[in-house]
Amino acid sequence: MIGILGKLSSWFASNGTATELRALENRIAYSFRRPALLDQALKHRSHVYAHAGEGIASNERLEFLGDAVLDLIVTEHLYRRYPDRHEGDLTQVKSLLVSKTILADTARAIQIGDYLHLSKEESHAGGRARTSILGDAFEAVLGAVYLDGGLAAAEAFVDRHLLSSLDDITSDGNHLNFKSTLLEHTQSEGQGHPRYLVHAEEGPDHRKTFTVEVLVEGDQLGLGRGRSKKEAQQMAAREALTKLGVS
């Protein structure tokens, strides 16, 4: 009797997972030939830790792959779309598009958070809405799409869910170049150039998180975190502008 109940429980669990995967496939407009890849992309490390010893792997390897694929697709798209822009301008736009904030917003639009496998503790703590988790999950799903359907499928996924909003993202006042705004303000006030210093580096080389502080006349006015030093500098500048009452 116990064996039968165990099999039924396993069947319902797998059937429920399959139903959820199909629902997410509909949302992202991509049907997996290997649904296990999508399931893998949704497994946060907290879920893995909660099931230690059961042979479950997190989505971190797929996130690592998706990050590289995203960088290539976005870089090529910007290169072709803006043939007259300089490298610095293209870098700034790319940094914005692949930032955790934008990727998390994109993941929210797809409702990826509803399908994530999290530990009970992480879920109760609001993990399904956490920017870092959602941004990583978007990259992991992209990595899964790439492995399942190749570069063409990955490009279609990024174009549909991210690049289609390029104009809206770059024209949004919330995504201004905070460093330039801060520099203009400090110069107008006779305070010279802000200084940006790396406060901390965390994580392995392939997925570091940087914390940067910004100093104006020797006083720390902001701290920012990001996946690159440039992103962290922008976040630090934004905090400084808020303290100065400029934004």
Active-site positions read 67, 139
Report the C-alpha gap between 76 and 207 in whole angstroms.
22
Nearest to 145 by CA among 24, 27, 37: 37
Residue with tokens 């399904």: 128
Task: Give the distance, in angstroms, between the CA of residue 123 and the centroid of all CA atoms in the same chain.
Answer: 18
Structure letter (DSSP) for residue 28: H
Taking the CA atoms of residue 183, residue 188, residue 193 and residue 196 in that order, the dihedral angle to the nearest 10 degrees is: -40
The two structure tokens encoding residue 97: 């598009």
Residue with tokens 């006015």: 221
